[in-house]
Amino acid sequence: MPDTAPKVDKVLFVTPEVTPLAKTGGLGDVAGGLPPALRALGLDLRLVMPLYGHIDRKAHSLSDTGLEFTVPVAADVKPCRVWQGQVGGCPVYLLGNDQYFSRPGLYGDVYGDFGDNLARFVFLCRGAVELARALEWPAQVVHAHDWQAALLPAYLATRPFDLGPLDQAAGIITIHNLAFQGIYPRHDFHLTGLPHYMDNMEGAEYWGNISLLKAGLMTAGAITTVSPTYAQEIQTPELGMGMEGVLRRRSTDLHGIINGVDYSQWSPEGDALLPATYSAKDLSGKTICRGALLKEFGLHDGLIMGFIGRLTHQKGVNLIAEATEALIEMGASLALLGTGDAYLEAALSRLAARHPGRVGLKLTFSESLAHLLQGGSDLMLMPSSFEPCGLNQMYALRYGTPPLVHATGGLKDTVSSFDRAKGAGTGFVFTKFDGEAFMGQAHEAARVFAQPDAWRRLMLNGMAQDFSWTASARRYLELYQATAQKHHSNL
């Protein structure tokens, strides 16, 4: 064993989503935004993800590498054909297998999650190892994202098969949202490719089932999550989602690193998806965006409150639905964009039908509408019950659209309450998760909105915030080096 670990210069990201190729939420944006920032620090960073059927290969300039190999999934071997693209100068390898990925949707369809998701993501994880073998590429660190990639660190730590060029690699896992844990019946353990001794409480076993995320958390050299506050919260029974014991045990290896913003995609100065661009120096374009948003959502003028996101309890959609009438009375117009739980879609649809001109709703996933909402809204609602990091509030700050947030996770770490006397702060923050506290801050927002000078100060405070990836990328790089060092001394 050499005395010193080699300097980390090769890192493999394994992720189920990469913006702009495939995205359901913040994970995609992180996997698209962090790699270029790490590359700028000198890393040879490469990504691997599934070749989903819906990805437009031509539009994203993907090319067929001609590389083919087989991937063991339990007793079967599955063919894999590798395609290649790039994000911000980093190669992205897309693992193709028609049986697993040639269908619309990343994880499921209208009937729910796909029944073979376990096998699909075993294929991704084992396929990543086979890819490194085919490329003869000895990454020193494999960085796995969420439960879909969580078997990777477990393979690296338990070595159930020949790891080829990844033999010396350290594994790191990032939790983007602890609500998603990759839970499957225990009798499917054999599909994972993990050694038998992992089929117990010290391994993948989780309250009578197995959890892929847990397998990763138990074995990774380091664990990260996407904000300092969320790193603390997930060690408590309130937000640990049953995983708090595991996370407390690993607390010295658990790090909260705030997500960054890819300002090349999210800045009002150069946003091609907006009807007009604007900047802190000249806000006139925002008025044009406002007008376009009112028209697009069929709204009367008022204090325009935007919402973008998955329609789930997590995102506080029920608080918004319950408060809608009171918000309208206050003079608000609501522009809501999202898809999600059927009962919330139905509740919002009823509100939109009952309040034409006051509630505008688009039940769809649309990048361009998301940008229009950021540019055209006055206030961005993000009353999440919990929020690992949240990106929309950071985008909103840059677009001069102050966010109204619940003090949780990354929302707490990135938004501060506006103080009218001092002219300091960037948004509106409520602490107790209930309708009264939410409405209290909505009223405060309306009061500040009625004072144009104060509102302008608030907008400019937010626009001056800098959440670019550079600082967080440096922290990841330090962590890669420290984790590789520790891993090496244990080899």
Residues at the contact surface with ligand ADP, assessed by CB under 6 A: 25-26, 29, 177, 308-310, 337-339, 365-367, 370, 389-392
Q: How far apart are CA 218 and CA 42, in angstroms?
A: 30
Q: How far apart are CA 249 and CA 234, in angstroms?
A: 12
227 vs 441, beta carbon nearer ligand ADP:
227
Supply the minimum distance, in Å, between the C-beta of residue 339 and ligand ADP. Answer: 5
DSSP secondary-structure letter at 206?
E
Concatenate the DSSP letters of all residues of 18-64 into one string.
BTTTB-SSHHHHHHHHHHHHHHHTT-EEEEEEE--TTS-TTTTT-EE
Residue nearest to ligand ADP (CB): 26
195 vs 240, beta carbon nearer ligand ADP:
240
Q: Name residue 107's amino acid.
A: Y
Supply the minimum distance, in Å, between the C-beta of residue 433 and ligand ADP. Answer: 16
Supply the minimum distance, in Å, between the C-beta of residue 233 and ligand ADP. Answer: 15
158 vs 401, beta carbon nearer ligand ADP:
401
389 vs 473, beta carbon nearer ligand ADP:
389
Other beta carbons within 10 angstroms of residue 377's beta carbon come to 29
The structure tokens listed for 346 are 């139905």
Supply the minimum distance, in Å, between the C-beta of residue 244 and ligand ADP. Answer: 20
Supply the minimum distance, in Å, between the C-beta of residue 196 and ligand ADP. Answer: 35
279 vs 312, beta carbon nearer ligand ADP:
312
Identify whether the C-beta of residue 475 lies closer than 8 Å to the C-beta of residue 37: no
Helix H or strand E encompassing 333: strand 332-337
Say how many Å lie between the first and final Cα of the chain, rounded.
7
Q: How far apart are CA 382 and CA 361, in angstroms?
A: 16
Closest to 142 in 3D by CA, of 62, 134, 150 = 150
97 vs 174, beta carbon nearer ligand ADP:
174
Supply the minimum distance, in Å, between the C-beta of residue 393 and ligand ADP. Answer: 7
Supply the minimum distance, in Å, between the C-beta of residue 338 and ligand ADP. Answer: 5
Q: Which residue has the tokens 């029974």?
A: 237
Supply the minimum distance, in Å, between the C-beta of residue 52 and ligand ADP. Answer: 17
Q: Are strands 209-211 and 205-206 parallel, antiparallel or unpaired?
A: antiparallel
Identify whether the C-beta of residue 176 lies closer than 8 Å to the C-beta of residue 388: yes
Q: Which residue has the tokens 């339990």?
A: 74
78 vs 406, beta carbon nearer ligand ADP:
406
Helix H or strand E encompassing 391: none
Q: How far is CA 480 from the centre of its chain?
A: 20
399 vs 455, beta carbon nearer ligand ADP:
399
Q: How far apart are CA 305 and CA 334, in angstroms?
A: 5
221 vs 260, beta carbon nearer ligand ADP:
260
Concatenate the DSSP letters of all residues of 67-134 into one string.
EEEEEEETTEEEEEEEEEEEETTEEEEEEE-HHHHSSSSSSEETTEE-TTHHHHHHHHHHHHHHHHHH
Supply the minimum distance, in Å, between the C-beta of residue 361 and ligand ADP. Answer: 11
33 vs 127, beta carbon nearer ligand ADP:
33
Closest to 380 in 3D by CA, of 353, 398, 362 = 398
Q: How far apart are CA 142 and CA 8, in angstroms?
A: 11
327 vs 391, beta carbon nearer ligand ADP:
391
Supply the minimum distance, in Å, between the C-beta of residue 308 and ligand ADP. Answer: 5
71 vs 335, beta carbon nearer ligand ADP:
335
**Inter-CA distances, 262 with 19, 395, 462, Å:** 11, 9, 16
Identify whether the C-beta of residue 65 lies closer than 8 Å to the C-beta of residue 10: no
